[in-house]
Structure 1
Amino acid sequence: MPQSVAFDIPYPETVIVAPEVDKAAVATLDWARDLGLVRDDAAADRIAGWRLTELAARFNPAAHGDDLLLAANLQCFLFLFDDQFDDAPGGPRAAEVVAARELLALLHEPPGTRPRHGVPATRAWADVWARSCAGMTAAWRARAAQDWAGYLAGVLVEAQPPALAPPATVAEHLALRRPTVGAYPVLDLAERVQGCELPDVAFHTPLLHRLRTIAADVAGLCNDVASVEKEERGGIRRNAVLVLEDTTGRPRAGAVGETVALVHALIAELNGLERLLPDAAAAIGLTAAERATVDRYVRLALHTLIRGNYDWQRHTARYDPAAPPLASEGLV
């Protein structure tokens, strides 16, 4: 079973505080019901099996209370919104295009602006965005908005029928999928809920850009291995394992092995680049406090994204290939 494939992830596992996570999980389902994202007990049970609040806690070990709930709400939105596009083999439907473009427009409005196209998905995102921006600098809001714009525009392109632009290599696949895997909004929120907003000058260095890219790619590749059976059954070929099979003729075991090896190579690169951080910090004039914030970000955002995603995907019901698609009509 692909979910049991082992990766060598050299970062410590996040300790999950069950009572707190369970409380946030109940509150997240209530939030989703109130907004119309979840409309019956069967859907609620399915989503509970995905363990999205546990994923949020693994991504953000220093987030508690309302901050953990915000992180869990973000995960709920991302997974349900993403499913709108996976369920459209002929390309994005008109309602999905309208919803995505509404959210793109809201990025240029003050946080808290009500969506004109008020459907469950747009109301949920607007709520998460407003709460995410609370207390954050204008610099953070600008770059977080840019990451959301990449995600929202990307899901429209990614939902095009694969025959229009099949990736010829895993590198091409990653370039197309990187904005839509959801890693960048998650990393942005980690700054908000874990008190590690990066100095703007540090965020925009090529070194931090590459570290974030690696973390996003590792998360995406691990998910590709875990979800390959589910996506293959659903006719989805936007998966590194399936790209390797389609373009090289490798058998499943060989394609999985090559994907695992790529993950390990990327983690090795990330660890090597981290050793350059002190010199880079000195070059851009970071204070001791700013350097500590960068170190906290690396440990509590980048490392936990990689490790938390891996630990979660091994036992979530999200990737069960036998599970039918979750009914999503009406969310957009």
Structure 2
Amino acid sequence: MVGEVLWSLRSACPIPSRLSPHADEVQEWLLDRLPRWGFPLDAEAMSRLDRAGFARYAGRLYPDASEPDLRTVTALFTWFFLVDDACDGPDRLPAEQIRVLRAGVLTLLHDGPRRRHPGFGGPLRRLLVEAWRTPRRRMPARWRLRFADAVGDHLDGTRREAVAKESGRAPGVGEYVSLRRATSAAYVSYPLIEFVGDRTLPDAVYHHPLLHQIRVLGNDLLSWYNDLASMERDRTTSGGHNLVLALATERNVPVDAAVELVGERWRDTMVRFQAQRAAVPSFGPGLDEAVTAHLDGVANAVRGTIDWTLESARYPTHPHP
């Protein structure tokens, strides 16, 4: 059932599929670098990371990035996935430890690598120091603040989810959708569109209500697709933090029926997403090209998540029906 819906939504997605020509080379670079950052990875763990294909995910979201920039965003993506693994599952970090981790991460992003925080060290810190070096040097202060705010919001969402799991309280649909927008890290990926394109949108444009709404819809589309793909795993580990499971509980329907409901919700949201992209006004000849690149990047995040989810070993296999 889930596999059929995943492939049906892929077929219904009007956004073209794209992939960087550098993706596989950058994946090899990542596997070479991870042990140098101090991660204790045996052959099985390295194989699992290779099959997950984080560079291919980054390459689908930023298909026009130069190879050096794709290395940077791949390193950042890998950091977020490793943090996600540490914060999820049966051996997850407690909420208080996530709060301390967040404080340490924000200290590094705001103040640079020379400022240390007792809650953040080891290989994860070394990886983030490496990944943050180029954006910190190249991007203006307003962009760095925008990125750090997105990271802070993401980690706070991760902490709030951990608190809910520790209390054993499953969220309702409305609460879950709001929290999922933070835990997905989509809002972290959006400023990186400006980084790889070497163009920074003014704050007034970036935070324009219509552009903000398009980013929200894009976040929902990629998050709900991911929820469908991870639903079977989430049934035992998520404490109800999955849109399928939240809908099944709130509407008192079987999980298979909730899968269909999520598929319908996704299709309706895609129609709104496309309509709102088409309704974006002109911001003037000096900005329209950058705005178009930004909107294309948000769309790439949706389609890239779909394609990568179906090819990555990180998720259960969903063969084409």
TM-score by length of 1: 0.86
Contact 1:11/1:304 (<8 A) preserved: yes
Give a deviation string over 1:9-39, Cα, whole Å, max 9, x none. Answer: 111010453xx32210011122222112352
Structure 1 Cα separation of the partners of residues 312 and 255 of structure 2:
22
- For residues 212-291 of structure 1, the aligned pairs below 5 Å read 212-278=215-281, 281=282, 286-291=283-288
Q: Which residue of 1 aligns with 2:314?
A: 318
Contact 1:167/1:173 (<8 A) preserved: yes
The gaps in structure 1 that reach 5 residues or longer are 322-332
Shift of 1:120: 1.5
Structure 2 Cα separation of the partners of residues 205 and 235 of structure 1:
34
Give a deviation string over 1:210-237, Cα, whole Å, max 9, x none. Answer: 1111111111100000010122233542
Residue 121 of structure 1 is aligned with which of 124, 127, 134?
A: 124
Shift of 1:165: 4.2
TM-score by length of 2: 0.89
Amino acid of the structure 1 residue aligned with 2:66: H
Residue 9 of structure 1 is aligned with which of 5, 9, 13?
A: 13
Q: Which residue of 2 aligns with 1:308?
A: 304
Q: Secondary structure at the match of 2:77?
A: helix
Mean alpha-carbon deviation: is it higher for 183-192 or for 84-93? Answer: 84-93
Structure 1 Cα separation of the partners of residues 178 and 151 of structure 2:
16
Residue 142 of structure 1 is aligned with which of 142, 145, 154?
A: 145
Matched, 1:294 2:298: no
Amino acid of the structure 1 residue aligned with 2:18: T
Contact 2:19/2:56 (<8 A) preserved: no
Q: Which residue of 2 aligns with 1:330?
A: none
Amino acid of the structure 1 residue aligned with 2:86: Q
Contact 1:60/1:193 (<8 A) preserved: yes
Q: Percent identity?
A: 27
Amino acid of the structure 2 residue aligned with 1:246: T
Aligned length: 310
| CA 201–94 in structure 1, closer or farther in 2 if over 3 Å, else same | closer
Amino acid of the structure 2 residue aligned with 1:243: A
Give a deviation string over 1:153-206, Cα, whole Å, max 9, x none. Answer: 22111112434542222x321101211201111111121013342232211111
Q: Which residue of 2 aligns with 1:41?
A: 43
Contact 1:221/1:259 (<8 A) preserved: yes
The gaps in structure 2 that reach 5 residues or longer are none
Q: Which residue of 2 aligns with 1:201?
A: 204
Q: Secondary structure at the match of 1:37?
A: coil
Q: Which residue of 1 aligns with 2:29?
A: 27
| CA 232–295 in structure 1, closer or farther in 2 if over 3 Å, else same | same
